[in-house]
Amino acid sequence: MKIVVQKFGGTSVATPESRRAAYRHIEQAKEDGYAVVVVVSAMGRRGDPYATDSLLSLLESSEASAAPVNLRERDMLMACGEIISAVVFAQELRARGHKVRAMTGAQAGILTSSDFGNARILDVRTDALHKALADGEIAIVAGFQGADEDGDVTTLGRGGSDTTATALGVALHAEVVDIFTDVSGIMTADPRIVDDARQLAQVTYTEICNMAYQGAKVIHPRAVELAMQGNVPIRVRSTMSDDPGTLVTQAARRLEHSSVFDQSVTGIAHTPNVAQIVVRGEGIGSSSIFQLMAEHQISLDFISVTPTEVAFTVPDGLADTAVHHLSQLGYRSQVRRGCAKVSAVGAGMMGVPGVMARIVDALASSGIDILQSADSHTTIWVLVDGSQMADAVRALHRAFQLAEV
Ligand code: ADP
Ligand code: MG
């Protein structure tokens, strides 16, 4: 039995029109002889009635918000959005004449840790899915969720439906996992920011994983890691078209580039809403700041240390907490909120001279100040003011000629 997993994201399940487009992809896969497992997200985005944020707002009423929210129950609530989508998909596909079975994550055998809100998939018990597929049914699985050993409903955190899809793909030895979304594939930068972003025909797991970790939200990095471990190819493609999209595999060295610089960078990613925190003082570099932050589960990024200065970034939302804990230890810190991290990502960057120089030049000539920078074999990061984020992304996209093949 050849199996395909098809995941449909929030905008793809939101309207009757987008759902019809989704059903055509499902029907095409059936016609091509695949057993089909469908993974669905909750319908729409913030503000839509059954979107995850809308469900969560039910706990924010003045009657509810006086007590801290119970995380176990919050997961029960959050899991509802995807269950609603799964049931609607199942019923509409049934009306089109298909045999279908809707399942919650737990019913589909997704066993997770008990970290409510950010649970890890520990195992996928595929019996129920195999049975449905053997019975000729299309399995419609609610994404973003599972259950722990006690049977408590858990959710998988941001991008969780992507993770559901690749975890099922690996567990079922699927031929491919299709991530259907509202763009036609993985592009050299977010097309909402860069008009002439170019679609990549093929990328490696490592490249897209790096892009995703740096903020390219088109697919979640954890989902890519799972697919990489199981060596299951991913295709990122548009619900609304038949474009083949972007194929993500182990080895996809592109031959389409010409110049050295083009080869060095695959894409530009960005993360908004980060705060830069700088702490100065004699001997600060060997202080216990990092341990302190770790104890409070504040994960730091962009860390730079000198004997007299420590700088790092945290998400804007954690800045106050971080500063509070620092001040309790007697450290005075300087905070700059509303920054953005802009990254040039590319496996071919390693050892190529002049990449950093090119970045500095490009930003300087666009009048953008670099607040901090860091680099690894595959990524160069710069921190800029949030108001200059989009300009910085565009400047780097131009500097590396990413719009051109
Ligand atoms: P879904 O609801 O289908 O999961 P997401 O909003 O999570 O969709 O991801 C799709 C979005 O990712 C696109 O609308 C696009 O704005 C954004 N995006 C960011 N970086 C990239 C990139 N490099 N290539 C394509 N899309 C990107
Ligand atoms: Mg997504």
- The CATH code of the domain that includes 344 is 3.30.2130.10
Does residue 275 sit in the same domain as residue 137? no
**CA 39 to ligand 2 centroid distance, Å:** 12
Is 101 contained in some domain?
yes
From 114, 149, 182, the end of a domain falls on 182
Is 246 contained in some domain?
no
Q: Whose CA is nearest to atom 9 of ligand 1?
A: 218
Is 302 contained in some domain?
yes
Report whether 9 belongs to an annotated binding site: yes
Report whether 295 belongs to an annotated binding site: no
**Cα distance between residue 301 and residue 311, in whole Å:** 9
Which residues are within 8 A (CB) of 11 and not within 5 positions of it... i.e. 6 or more apart?
18, 44, 45, 181, 182, 239
Burial class of residue 49, CB neighbours in 10 A (0-12, 13-18, 19+): exposed
Report whether 150 belongs to an annotated binding site: no
Domain that holds residue 303: 267-399
Does residue 24 sit in the same domain as residue 168? yes
| pLDDT-flagged residues of the chain (< 70) | 252-263
Does residue 20 sit in the same domain as residue 116? yes
**Cα distance between residue 52 and residue 10, in whole Å:** 10
Report whether 10 belongs to an annotated binding site: yes
Is 209 contained in some domain?
no
Is 88 contained in some domain?
yes
H helices present in 115-243, as ranges:
127-134, 160-171, 205-213, 221-230
* Shortest-distance atom of ligand 1 to CA 161: 4
pLDDT tens figures, 340-351: 999 999 877 777
**CA 184 to ligand 1 centroid distance, Å:** 10
**CA 71 to ligand 1 centroid distance, Å:** 28
Does residue 142 sit in the same domain as residue 274? no
**CA 219 to ligand 1 centroid distance, Å:** 7
Q: Whose CA is nearest to atom 15 of ligand 1?
A: 190
What is the predicted pLDDT for the residue at 270?
A: 97
**Cα distance between residue 101 and residue 6, in whole Å:** 15
Does residue 170 sit in the same domain as residue 285? no
Is 94 contained in some domain?
yes
Is 258 contained in some domain?
no
**Cα distance between residue 25 and residue 138, in whole Å:** 13
Among all ligands shown, which has an atom nearest to the Cα of 236? Answer: 1
**Cα distance between residue 47 and residue 53, in whole Å:** 7
From 182, 205, 224, the end of a domain falls on 182
**CA 326 to ligand 2 centroid distance, Å:** 34
**Cα distance between residue 298 and residue 289, in whole Å:** 11
- Sheet arrangement for strand 176-181: 100-103, 138-142, 35-40, 3-8, 176-181, 234-238, 246-249, 202-204
* Shortest-distance atom of ligand 1 to CA 12: 3
Question: Which of 41, 186, 190 to mutate to test ligand 1, by most ligand atoms within 8 A of the CB atom?
Answer: 190
From 126, 148, 182, the end of a domain falls on 182
Report whether 192 belongs to an annotated binding site: yes
What is the predicted pLDDT for the residue at 263?
A: 62
Question: Residues 277, 284: contact at Cβ < 8 Å?
Answer: no
Among all ligands shown, which has an atom nearest to the Cα of 402? Answer: 1
3-state secondary structure of 279: strand
Question: Residues 73, 113: contact at Cβ < 8 Å?
Answer: no
Q: What is the DSSP string of 355-395?
A: HHHHHHHHHHHTT----EEEE-SSEEEEEEEGGGHHHHHHH
Q: Residues enclosing ligand 1, CB less than 6 A?
A: 9-12, 41, 181-183, 186-187, 189-192, 216-218, 267
H helices present in 231-350, as ranges:
260-264, 289-295, 319-328
Report whether 218 belongs to an annotated binding site: yes
**CA 380 to ligand 2 centroid distance, Å:** 24
**Cα distance between residue 44 and residue 22, in whole Å:** 14
Bin 179: left if φ > 0, else alpha if -120 < ψ < 50, else beta: beta
Report whether 217 belongs to an annotated binding site: yes
Which residues are within 8 A (CB) of 261 and not within 5 positions of it... i.e. 6 or more apart?
352, 354, 355, 358, 400, 401
Question: Which of 11, 210, 217 to mutate to test ligand 1, by most ligand atoms within 8 A of the CB atom?
Answer: 217
**Cα distance between residue 62 and residue 184, in whole Å:** 42
Does residue 32 sit in the same domain as residue 174? yes
Q: Whose CA is nearest to atom 11 of ligand 1?
A: 218
Kindly report the CATH number assigned to the domain that includes residue 35.
3.40.1160.10
**CA 236 to ligand 1 centroid distance, Å:** 10
Please say whether the dihedral angle defined by the alpha carbons of residues 19, 222, 78 and 317, taken in this order, is positive or negative: negative
Is 230 contained in some domain?
no
3-state secondary structure of 277: strand
Does residue 175 sit in the same domain as residue 275? no
What is the predicted pLDDT for the residue at 252?
A: 61
Residue linked to tokens 């509802």: 80
Among all ligands shown, which has an atom nearest to the Cα of 181? Answer: 1
Domain tally, the chain: 2
